[in-house]
Structure 1
Amino acid sequence: MSTPEENPRPTPVDVPLIHIGAPAESGGGCGDGCGCGDGYDPDGLECGLDPALAQLLAEAGLDPVQVEDIAHVAIEEDLDGGEDVTTVATVPEDSVATGDFTAREAGVVAGLRVAEAVLSIVCTDEFEVERHVEDGDRVTAGQKLLTVTTRTRDLLTGERSALNLLCRLSGIATATRAWADVLEGTKTEVRDTRKTTPGLRALEKYAVRCGGGVNHRMSLVDAALVKDNHVIAAGGVAEAFQRVRKAFPDLAIEVEVDTLEQVREVLDAGADLILLDNFTPAGTAEAVALVAGRAVLESSGRLTLDSARAYAEAGVDYLAVGALTHSSPILDIGLDFRDAAARTDGADA
């Protein structure tokens, strides 16, 4: 067994953090001469991204200011207050390159405009972008997704941060698409949970949408979800529901239940949604018959791609799959330079 002396606590370090939605002087938001303040953020916050790119992000349901700040955080983490020493030492300052972001395997792509945002804050000069596919598209191995022409140093410096986000989001979209495909032809939809990477929830839930899934709660304020610990604290499932209804009369309330008896209790209490936790497909069918359309039903626990169809055919409205965001493998995407002499290995850098 290790002792404290053998495994000392790490030494604290000062890390400059860029706050999401912070003003320009703190490193977030827009800088001098920002041209995108005309309507991209309804609350008046501005961003320093190209106006057209900011508009595309907004149309996709993403906050351009938040995306810009996430991009800043990713780049700052990689540079750690310094510079890309390998690139500076090996690449002439005036070198320009064209690189193709290319799928190494088949899947569904998500996060292309996010990757553009990362690159745009690194590039010191204007860069050209050619878009070959759109988020939500199915792609094949070897297919070009995005072509960028800019200073070679800038492209190399921003490559890994852009790929980290693009591969992660595309992996989530690909996994979600597999569930959506299994459920095709039924009324059941797959939806996510709050089991997301801190700071990346909006992006990861966007990736779920790209894959054909739907979002559940974006935060704790969107709707109420009464789970087992709430039930214990309140002294019963019906009591917990009634307390939430009294405190927030206009809020949608979902209640997690473990038995058919609890289904009856919360149904009689007036629950809007009922979460059937760890029910079998047969038990789910019994619950569906009992509810008879008086509440929306969602299944969670014991769910796999192999069993998803059985739960859907039992008649539930949603399958709650936390693994979409907490366990999906990345989609392998790399950056290939067209000039072989300037090539970089996007998969392993």
Structure 2
Amino acid sequence: MARADLSITPRLRQQLAEWLQEDLGRGDLTTSALRGREGEAHWLAKADGVFCGGVLLEPLVRELVGSSEPRLDWQLLVGDGTPVEAGQRLLELRGPAEHLVALERTALNLAMRLSGIATATAALVAQLKGTGVALADTRKTTPGLRTLEKYAVRCGGGVNHRMGLDDAAMLKENHLAWAGGVTAAIAAVRADAPWPARVIVEAESAEEAQAAVVAGADAVLLDEFSPDALKTLVPSLRAQAVLRPARTSVVLEASGVNPAELPLYAATGVDLISSSAPMTRSSWLDLSMRFTPAGS
């Protein structure tokens, strides 16, 4: 089980409220058939995978029900980041039938999306087991869902790259072209950014990578290099970093990789491999909510 924490911030609570309201609209037209009835329900995994999304139940229920009586109670049977099997119960709920129905779609949609990302991440992380190389995500996330999708990556055993543009300065092809090269771009950022800020250079050639190390980049993202090319390049970059005046180390990251070849990239000596695949290529994990009348 991959351990991960998610802070339920006021902003996230507001988003959850908006997503519930998106489904409820002016009010569920089926509640007249359910009013006054109690029900029990459970979530069921319909495929093997890694579960993620249980942490959202508390804020979703609080937003939907508030302090009204009777209460809507639930019990998580598995924690986020836990591998699950098809047919396994994940969650049990009990309360007013109208609340169970109103909660179902929003909660399940989020859990299926996040569980799909956690499942895809875990499959890639498994390829790196024993290598000491971490798998990182990217900023290719669904607008509005970045915090949750990156949480799902952590639940799958991955690590988070930048949450946003204000986390670190990553100088890419356009930055380097417009600034007049690697050295000039790094100098400009160093002059304006707070001193703890990291400067990362995305290099598309060995020459750019060497220039980034010499100019003092904290990390070099080696984009779309083959494993064979990295086997030669990585040791030379390590040797160059030792010669820097401050003798500071440099983080070397492989990106633009084929997810099926992660062990080959890990064997090159890089520290980190980043991939958007858990976000962009994953499918939702199939979950369902099954109902029974209370006491049946």
In the superposition, the TM-score normalised over structure 1's length comes to 0.76
**Cα shift at 1:207:** 0.7
Relative contact order higher in (CA < 8 Å, ≥ 6 apart) = 2
**Cα shift at 1:116:** 3.8
How far apart, in 2, do the equivalents of 1:109 and 1:287 lie? 39
**Cα shift at 1:61:** 3.2
CA gap of 1:217–1:277, structure 2 versus 1, over 3 A, is same
Q: Give the aligned CA root-mean-square deviation in angstroms.
A: 1.9
The answer for the alignment partner of 2:280 in structure 1 is 326
How far apart, in 2, do the equivalents of 1:144 and 1:120 lie? 23
Q: Is the 8 A contact 2:223 2:254 kept in 1?
A: yes
1:115 to 57, 65, 74: 57
Q: Deviations over 1:219-254 (max 9, x none)?
A: 111111101111111111222122112222431111
Secondary structure of the 1:338 match is strand
- Pairing 1:90–2:33 present: yes
**Cα shift at 1:89:** 4.2
Letter in 2 for 1:66: R
- Pairing 1:253–2:199 present: yes
**Cα shift at 1:338:** 2.9
The answer for the alignment partner of 1:335 in structure 2 is 289
The answer for the alignment partner of 1:39 in structure 2 is none
Letter in 1 for 2:217: A
**Cα shift at 1:71:** 1.5
How far apart, in 1, do the equivalents of 2:17 and 2:281 lie? 25
1:164 to 86, 109, 116: 109
How far apart, in 2, do the equivalents of 1:324 and 1:116 lie? 26
2:155 to 186, 206, 210: 210
1:266 to 206, 209, 212: 212
Identity of aligned residues (%): 39
2:179 to 206, 228, 234: 234
Which runs of no fewer than 5 residues in structure 1 stay unpaired?
1-58, 343-349
How far apart, in 2, do the equivalents of 1:151 and 1:337 lie? 12
Paired residues, what number?
A: 280
Letter in 2 for 1:103: A
Which runs of no fewer than 5 residues in structure 2 stay unpaired?
242-248
Q: Deviations over 1:73-112 (max 9, x none)?
A: 11111122x1111x22432x11111110111111001110
Q: Deviations over 1:39-97 (max 9, x none)?
A: xxxxxxxxxxxxxxxxxxxx9232342332121011111122x1111x22432x11111
How far apart, in 1, do the equivalents of 2:107 and 2:221 lie? 37
**Cα shift at 1:291:** 1.5
The answer for the alignment partner of 2:24 in structure 1 is 79
Letter in 2 for 1:244: V
How far apart, in 2, do the equivalents of 1:74 and 1:83 lie? 14
How far apart, in 1, do the equivalents of 2:264 and 2:293 lie? 51
Q: Is the 8 A contact 2:257 2:275 kept in 1?
A: no
Q: Is the 8 A contact 2:173 2:202 kept in 1?
A: yes
The answer for the alignment partner of 1:291 in structure 2 is 237
Q: Deviations over 1:293-336 (max 9, x none)?
A: 741111111321x2111001111111111122233211111101
How far apart, in 2, do the equivalents of 1:97 and 1:331 lie? 25
In the superposition, the TM-score normalised over structure 2's length comes to 0.90
The answer for the alignment partner of 2:246 in structure 1 is none
- In the TM superposition, structure 1's runs of 4+ consecutive aligned residues that sit over 4 Å from their partners are none
